[in-house]
Structure 1
């Protein structure tokens, strides 16, 4: 019985195993019609996970909760799923099945995920993803609630989901490159890159675009129907521009037909005939739009009209100009060039044909219009020091008509810039410090209309030579081994003429040249305790091309007659000296602070023989017989040496004063705050112990005073002056003014004060340069500087509403006392002015600002600018008033976005 029972058990087990095997394999027979059952096996619900692993070992059904399963299959030649347990660090690969697709169906695999389920339909070659589906193919990424892929047509369809409480869910989001689009429905062909989307939103650069339908015909070309675009980033924008048809070329340009602006949803009655909207970032060619202006002096006008052309990576050019109805015009051509590790530069040529209405009632001219032609050339060039080490070449040229700045119509501050300067410099260094520098310099004054040109200036210097030093020094240097000899030489050529009477012959007559040689000999002696001794010998020789012969007073002409004698003339000067200096410190202690005073006194003994007396002459300068001793070398390009023998002492003293204050509430290392009260106060002069006949009545040398400080790191003060302790009478005698209770006569001096104050920024504290980088990081340094100049000349358009207030103040005072051409009288020239600029926020959205330049001597307001700005989120309104040589009143309404900065509503009135 027992054996029979065992046999029965074995038979029973075999029968059950055959039944199970038959049940599993029957649907897989080739002639089976159970297609729906087979498809159901490849449908993977979220709550049923196949429990067959690679090793063939079954896993319990409750090993991993279905809600924590994320499947990441990849379509290539097979389909597989990776099951990840989000509750643990373990993961295992589950092989579902293998389905072979055509090798040439796609050129890259598709990675996809789905939160709900993934369905593969073999007969129709369709693949469906449900619930937060995501697919990635090459550089394209698509997220949606439902994604359908048809392999036969290479077509992808995507839809969003709905929720009764939350509305639309998981709208299709398409990302290709740096462009992201959100739409309701998308149809896209993976091979042809063509597609159709409905109710599409996407951002291109700074532009936000919405279209009812968008048809993608090529990879980078799209057509939009019933579209609107704006730079406002709100869900309901403050403004937009609507167009029925739009063509978009990604990262290049968008073109539309008639477009209608809308503000707060209200359409404007004015239509734009067509629209061209640049989408390309960085350097690209294009038109420069103008702005409209009206003026009773120039008439109606368009300003800023032009074209920008990118020639290649190293060159670009801009042509821009203004045109006015009375016949005036301005044309500017600017070329930028750049070669990495070599050089960079800018060349600009500007011409102005001024034709303005003569409305000056006091003018002597009876002409209806004032007409003039002016021009200016600008060239800036700099070479990279890495290109040719030891050799540099730079240029900063600003030359042209002296009246050019006066004829500018849109730059009030430039109208009062009377001086222009240019320089071109080549420098080469070789050996142990030999340096040769060749430069061309030019200065112009628009008031006197005088032009001075240095053609060229040559400088040569050699390093200091120590003749007593050994080539291989061992130990410390002896005192005599510190004896050094140097050399420097300069060649100057000067041409002066007036631009109102240019004549080549007269220019040659004004040409002057001169050469100067300097040979300094220095020696550093060992310190004697706190004293430092430094002997010196200086030799200087000047060569001149002419001297001036003075005749005594001419009763018939009523002046001193002069004549120029050309030739070669040499003058020399030599001095010997010994200087001694030291440093003295003093400290004054207070309760919580310490005042530190540093004094640097110096004293020296020097001797200078009289080696130029032959070039000095006594001249009767008026009918009373007044005599002046005049140098025949004055007026030369190098100037003359001072006459007289000097043998005496020179002395000077400089001071530094600062305070250190301790913060009693802090114990950190930075608890001590240092405040500079006086950076420098120095006084120098001298006394002649052996004066000769030329200066026996004035042994005391002129007193030089200079001072500078930066109070509280806010107020910068600099001053200097030269005081003559003697007064000269009509009999050519000198009197010490100290005996008359006076300090002396001021020969020259200047004083300048400046400060810049502003409140703490609400967001950040950045300069104009930092804000400029936010505007466009692709600008070259030259382009950044041009944009920065535009910001500074148009402050109303770049108001920082994060700074409640700001203030910049500067004051300057200058004085010079010069001998007149009659050699008798002195003329005192005094100039003083105040420059004020500032802004203040009237509210978080309103800001008032401006500035003015006031000449205290003439009591005239030379130039002023005031503006009122309103921040309207994505737009900005500005009322700008300029008063100067030309007066203007401007109202501007423009978008804040850089891409639409030139799309402005502008009304400008200008008069003289």
Structure 2
């Protein structure tokens, strides 16, 4: 690209520098220059006047007024062979690696000629010993570079001709046979190629225009444009073209994609307008239309305020019509989805924070939407949202306040739980008897108390009633005050004892008294609105310690020692019964049934539930174990053995309810983690061991299993699971792990591709990858990049003598890069119980340098479909693509 008036400055600087600093460097050829007295040429604006290069009489020169200079920096000119004056033809020659630098402007060429008669400057390449044209002109100004074959510039007209220029503008690489500089900011080019390919001289594709008008950093306007692929013209063309070059955001239209859908006919998707509102916020409005009448609207916006916050918000609505009106299979539905993500910078405000992560909408959205095939989301059963504001009030004691709105939605049952809002306030612990200096010791000094407040406005509703009047009428509102008091101390130096009590007061504004209606012969629950309150309290204490055991086998052994860490604990809790908050209703005697008095609490169904009307007194037992080994290091120079975990957090826990009439002992819960392969694979397991026997009806009875002819414990349930990821990078040194977030993860799905990757009709897959770095000098099959993820789970149930495996499955996903630009992937799973494959996706991708091709295929199941895409990578040409998909038949 030629840069307006800077070229004029360069040429003037060339003339000034040659007259003031002309000399020869490393002259290889004898020059026939007649001996003349040394002349001193002043530097000034008058250098461009006629006859400036003529020899001046020293007396006349003294009588001239000194010209003012406009140069603001030093001019440096060099040439490898020579810098020569031709006084007869009034020319200056710089030959071989000629270079002129003035400030941030630089021009390099094999040959630079200044012609004072024609007021023109020329820059050329030169031929080397092999007769190749080398050292083509290179003009650099700041970050802008132009590489033509030759340059011709005229001072009088201030116009220039540039031959075979190469430049880059706004992501485009442009090559023009002839470029004419019209004025400071407009250039006309003839026989032009422009592309986003890396090699402008041999691009895999390009657009060819006979004539174009270019305004640097702004736009390219062309006449007839044809697209060439591998130098072969295609029928793709436009009578005229407009290509924006600005690197700043600009408002503009978004070209829709087109295709056909077996259920809704032909469509135009994702067409609309982009609004560059300001440097802080933008807006994208997109729409879809199908010939059967279905349509969709999408509004999305990104916003950011540097060092304070950033986020994005989107809303999508779809009106879906199946088949045609009047047909028996005709149906219609409306679905929507709202997403909002807001993040506050960590240092924006140290005492307050606001964040949001919202994903709510129709339960069927991810299963029914036709604008994307997001496998990572439709396999999720829950949508969740949270908007929170927190504030800290420093002081003694410190007070923390948070206001939160939450949302949880089951997409299978369509049940929605929402709190709008939840207000929580808490005060830091206060130690009233602690010493002013030093550590706290003993029971008294460790006594502390807190205060916390929790207030909620909770809604339980469904999709059909969401944000309708009934949802607000059924809301539950309540407040809870809590004051925990606790202390801790040591006994016998090795035992830690803790004790505490907790007082709670609950306020509700709606209760539910019950009565028996003799006419209807059923229990009727009324709703009583008004302020009600109840109070509860409890007491708990516990003692625990840590025991260390060491088994030494000798330093000469492979296993030097095994350490066993045991953490036993026992606790006791007691809570009185609060029967003062209970009432009764009478069910009269009927034929075959006696009169019955039923006890109930009007607080049942309220926000915090009813207080217990049963006395509770239980003892809890727990013991956890950790096993570690010291193993002789493989490195003979290592002075210390390696530490390796053998079994982590093997825990046994149970409780004994002393207030129960029967079945006082609870099942023993067992859980732990088995680390394998140097803790790269963690196998998690848990289970329940029931000490009680079952009767003939498979019901628990108050009789120990061992006294019923069985074993000490009966395995009631068990679960084992593990997840493992490894790749070729695990066998390489200095590997870098990247934590990428794609569209699937932002929607609440998994970060990895275990459930497949998302595709959409705007072009290819959603997870963006960095451009691969290919070393053409290596044999590629020396190392083939690959990755593999495994997830396994098995659940066993036997609490009622089922003796069955209720679930047993394995899921896997992997990617294999067959060549530097070919990759294949698969995501699938197998249900070992039902003997069938789970959701399966096959992926094929081909990197075509400037293009990208992908094919995603779901071969079977309810989501059976395929999607093919090929298009240009560059975002500015994302509309130049071909995609075709066949979605599943929703009528089956």
Give the shorter-chain TM-score range: 0.7 to 0.9
Question: CA deviation digits over 1:659-718, x for unaligned, max 9?
Answer: 44333334146x754443433222222224xx34xx121322454444345543433444
2:852 maps to what in 1? 876
Aligned equivalents of 2:491, 2:119: Cα separation in 1: 92
2:489 aligns to what SS in structure 1? Answer: coil
Cα distance, 1:385–1:800 mapped onto 2, change above 3 Å: closer
Maintained 8 Å contact 2:269/2:288? yes
Look up the match of 1:384. Answer: 345
Once residues 797 and 297 of structure 1 are traced to their aligned partners in structure 2, the CA distance between those partners, rounded to angstroms, is 30
Counterpart of 1:183 in 2: which secondary structure?
Answer: coil
Give the secondary structure class of the aligned counterpart of 1:270: strand
CA contact (8 A) 1:840 1:849 kept: yes
Following the alignment from structure 2 to structure 1, what is the Cα–Cα distance between the partners of residues 600 and 723? Answer: 40
Residue 51 of structure 2: aligned partner? none
- Quick one: structure 1 residues 42 and 863, their matched pair in 2 at CA, closer, same or farther if it must change by over 3 Å? closer
Does residue 738 (structure 1) correspond to residue 715 (structure 2)? The answer is no
Partners of 2:638 and 2:424 lie apart in 1 by 53
- In the alignment, which residue of structure 2 is the partner of 1:62? none
Question: Closer, same or farther in 2 for the Cα pair 1:795/1:731, shift >3 Å?
Answer: closer
**C-alpha contact (below 8 Å) 1:296/1:357 kept by paired residues:** no
Task: Tell me, yes or no, if structure 1 residue 665 matches structure 2 residue 635.
Answer: yes
Residue aligned with 1:755, SS: strand
Partner of 1:656: 626
Q: 1:348 aligns with which of 314, 317, 342?
A: 314
Is 2:497 aligned against 1:533?
yes
Q: Is the 8 A contact 1:78 1:100 kept in 2?
A: no
After TM superposition, the structure 1 = structure 2 runs for residues 134-173 of structure 1, keeping only pairs within 5 Å, are 134-150=99-115, 155-163=120-128, 165-173=130-138
1:299–1:617 distance in 2 versus 1, CA, 3 Å = same
Q: Look up the match of 1:848.
A: 824
Write out per-residue CA displacement over residues 33-85 of structure 1, whole angstroms, 9 at most, x where no aligned residue.
Answer: xxxxxx9x9875855999xxxxxxxxxxxxxxxxxxxxxx9977999xxxxxx
Which residue does the alignment assign to 2:378? 415
Q: Which residue of 2 aligns with 1:679?
A: 648
SS of the equivalent of 2:263 reads coil
Task: Summarize the alignment of residues 476-495 of structure 1 with structure 2, pairs less than 5 Å apart.
Answer: 477=441, 479-495=443-459
Distance 2:167 2:673 in 1: 58
Moved more, 414-423 or 324-333: 414-423
Q: Distance in 1 between matches of 2:350 and 2:767?
A: 44
Q: What residue is the counterpart of 1:3 in the other structure? A: none
Aligned equivalents of 1:610 and 1:786: distance in 2? 45
User: What 5-or-longer segments of structure 2 have no aligned partner?
Assistant: 1-18, 31-40, 48-60, 760-764, 775-783
| Residues 536-588 of structure 1, C-alpha deviations (whole Å, 9 max, x = no match) | 3333444455565677999987x876555666241413113132222324346
Residue by residue over 1:747-781, the C-alpha shift from the partner in whole angstroms, topping out at 9 and shown as x without a partner, is: 99876432222113999855566899xxxxxxxx9
Q: Within 2, Cα distance between the matches of 1:125 and 1:103?
A: 24
- Uncovered stretches (5+) of structure 1, i.e. residues with no partner: 1-38, 51-72, 80-96, 360-364, 773-780, 819-825
User: Secondary structure, in 3 states, of the residue corresponding to 2:887?
Assistant: strand
Cα displacement (A) at 1:198: 0.7
Count of aligned positions? 806
In the alignment, which residue of structure 2 is the partner of 1:33? Answer: none
Partner of 1:514: 478
Q: 1:573 to 1:187 in 2, by over 3 A?
A: same
Counterpart Cα distance in 1 of 2:42 and 2:662: 105
Q: Tell me how far apart the structure 2 counterparts of residues 78 and 658 of structure 1 sit (CA, whole Å).
A: 88
2:335 corresponds to which of 374, 378, 393: 374
2:814 pairs with 1:838: yes
Q: Supply the distance in 1 between the matched residues of 2:230 and 2:835 (Cα, whole angstroms).
A: 49
Distance 1:594 1:541, change over 3 A: farther
Q: Which residue of 2 aligns with 1:177?
A: 142
Contact 2:374–2:758, Cα closer than 8 Å, also in 1: no
In the alignment, what sits opposite 1:822? Answer: none
Q: Hey, what does 1:441 align to over in structure 2?
A: 406
Contact 1:114 1:132 (8 Å CA) reproduced: yes
Aligned with 1:888 (options 865, 870, 873): 865
SS in 1 for 2:569: strand
The answer to which of 342-351 and 186-195 deviates more is 186-195
Matched with 1:805 is 786
Distance in 2 (CA, whole Å) between partners of 1:881 and 1:159 is: 55
Contact 2:366/2:374, CA 8 A, preserved across alignment: no
CA distance in 2, matches of 1:266, 1:480: 90
The 2-side partners of 1:843 and 1:263 are apart by: 23
* Structure 1 residues 657 and 284, CA gap change in structure 2 (3 angstroms): farther
Give the 3 Å change call, closer, same or farther, for CA 552–631 of structure 1 in structure 2.
same
Cα distance, 1:640–1:705 mapped onto 2, change above 3 Å: farther
* Aligned equivalent of 2:387: 424
Q: Which residue of 2 aligns with 1:753?
A: 722
SS at match of 1:314: coil
- CA offsets per residue over residues 271-316 of structure 1, 9 Å max, x none? 3444444544464444444433322023222333233332222111
Conserved 8 A contact 1:208-1:230: yes
Instruction: Give the Cα–Cα distance (whole angstroms) in 1 for the partners of residues 597 and 88 of structure 2.
Output: 118
1:460 Cα deviation after fit:
1.6
**Alignment CA distance shift 1:572-1:380 (3 Å):** same
> Which structure: larger Rg?
1
Measure the CA separation in 2 of the matches of 1:657 and 1:134. Answer: 72
Check 1:906–1:578 CA distance in 2 against 1; reply closer, same or farther (3 A cut): closer
**Secondary structure, aligned partner of 2:488:** coil
- Residue 227 of structure 1, aligned match among 192, 204, 215: 192
Q: TM-score, normalised by structure 2?
A: 0.77
Pairwise mapping of residues 304-703 of structure 1 onto structure 2 (< 5 A)? Answer: 304-357=270-323, 367-409=328-370, 410-413=372-375, 414-430=377-393, 431=395, 432-470=397-435, 472-473=436-437, 477=441, 479-501=443-465, 506-526=470-490, 528-545=492-509, 568-587=532-551, 589=553, 591-594=557-560, 596-613=562-579, 632=601, 633-640=603-610, 644-647=614-617, 649-668=619-638, 672-688=641-657, 691-692=658-659, 695-701=660-666, 703=668
Aligned partners of 1:532 and 1:580 also within 8 Å = yes
- Is the CA contact (8 Å cut-off) linking 1:546 and 1:564 kept in structure 2? yes
Is 1:295 the counterpart of 2:261 in the alignment? yes
Partners of 1:847 and 1:42 in 2: how far apart? Answer: 60
Match of 1:248 among 204, 209, 214: 214
Distance in 2 between residues matched to 1:422 and 1:46, nearest whole Å = 75
Deviation of residue 150 (structure 1)? 4.4
Shift of 1:216: 2.9
Aligned equivalents of 1:411 and 1:649: distance in 2?
Answer: 53
CA–CA distance in structure 1, aligned partners of residues 355 and 633 of structure 2: 50
Cα-to-partner distance string for 1:133-163 (whole Å, 9 max, x where unaligned): 1112444321112212346776421112123
Query: Normalising by structure 1, what TM-score?
Result: 0.76
Deviation, 1:270, is 3.3
Residue 831 of structure 1, CA deviation:
6.8
Give the stretch that moved more between structures: 544-553 or 116-125: 544-553
Q: How many angstroms does 1:746 deviate by?
A: 9.2
DSSP-derived class of the 1:665 partner:
coil
CA deviation string 1:352-392 (max 9, x = no partner)? 11123389xxxxx9544332222222222233343433122
1:111 positional shift: 2.5
Separation in structure 2 between the aligned mates of residue 555 and residue 707 of structure 1, nearest angstrom: 57
